[in-house]
Amino acid sequence: METPELGRQARSYSLLLMAMVLALLAGCATQSGLKSSSRSGGYTSRHIVIDSAKRNDVALTAMGLLGTRYRYGGSSPNTGFDCSGLIQYVFENVANAQLPHNTAEIAQVSRPVPRSKLSVGDFVFFNTLNSPYSHMGIYIGDGQFVNAPSTGGHVRIDALSSSYFAKRYEGARTLF
């Protein structure tokens, strides 16, 4: 025979379990901006989609970080940024988007954009280490982008037409 105390505990545990399940489901619902798309070989990637009204905020936030020191693996203004850490920080703060801290993985969750259709807030990718998608920045218009380029450097604006970046340009991608 169940005592009233055991019955209350069982109900409490049931309610707690139900609350945890609902919290997990709510957490999954916050990723509603992710879309699946099939790739060759059966590989599936998820594309993140962000409201295009946030484009200017992305650019302004990135420009607000100009001068922040470069740090390999860095992902905050206090400690410094590498290129993917900069992008990760900006998009998390502006659009609450959880991006990987890896340029090639960011390329996988974004969609290609022709260079002629580049818009503010899009990504530009470069092959700087003899490896595809080894560097990236945030396009801010007029052929310029914000990036965290190298050890000893700082977050800065560069031109797509600069001799260094022009010959290493890999393509553009977007989340918008």
Digit-coded pLDDT (tens) for 39-96 = 333 334 578 999 999 999 999 999 999 999 999 999 999 999 999 999 999 999 999 9
* Residue matched to tokens 């801010």: 140
Separation of CA 56 from chain center: 16
Beta strands in 17-165 (DSSP E): 34-38, 44-48, 75-76, 80-81, 111-113, 123-126, 135-141, 144-147, 156-159
- 15: tokens are 């309610």
Report the catalytic residues: 83, 135, 147
Burial class of residue 26 (count of CB atoms within 10 Å of its CB; 0-12, 13-18, 19+): exposed
SS3 of 45, please?
Answer: strand
Nearest to 86 by CA among 94, 100, 74: 74
Q: pLDDT tens, 92-124?
A: 999 999 999 999 999 999 999 999 999 999 999
Of 19 and 90, more confident: 90
Nearest to 61 by CA among 47, 72, 50, 71: 50
- Note the pTM of the prediction, 2 decimals: 0.75
**Domain topology for 34-174:** endopeptidase fold (from Nostoc punctiforme) (3.90.1720)
CA gap 126, 124 in Å, rounded: 7
pLDDT-based confidence at residue 174 (cuts at 50, 70, 90): very high
Give the C-alpha distances (Å, rounded to integers) separating 74 from 25, 101, 103, 115.
31, 9, 13, 28
The domain locations on the chain are 1-30, 34-174
Residue 46 has a pLDDT of 77
pLDDT-based confidence at residue 38 (cuts at 50, 70, 90): very low
Judge whether residue 142 has pLDDT over 90.
yes
* Residue matched to tokens 């920045």: 137
Least confident residue range of 15-24, 59-68, 73-82, 150-159: 15-24
pLDDT-based confidence at residue 14 (cuts at 50, 70, 90): very low
* Residue matched to tokens 């390999």: 72
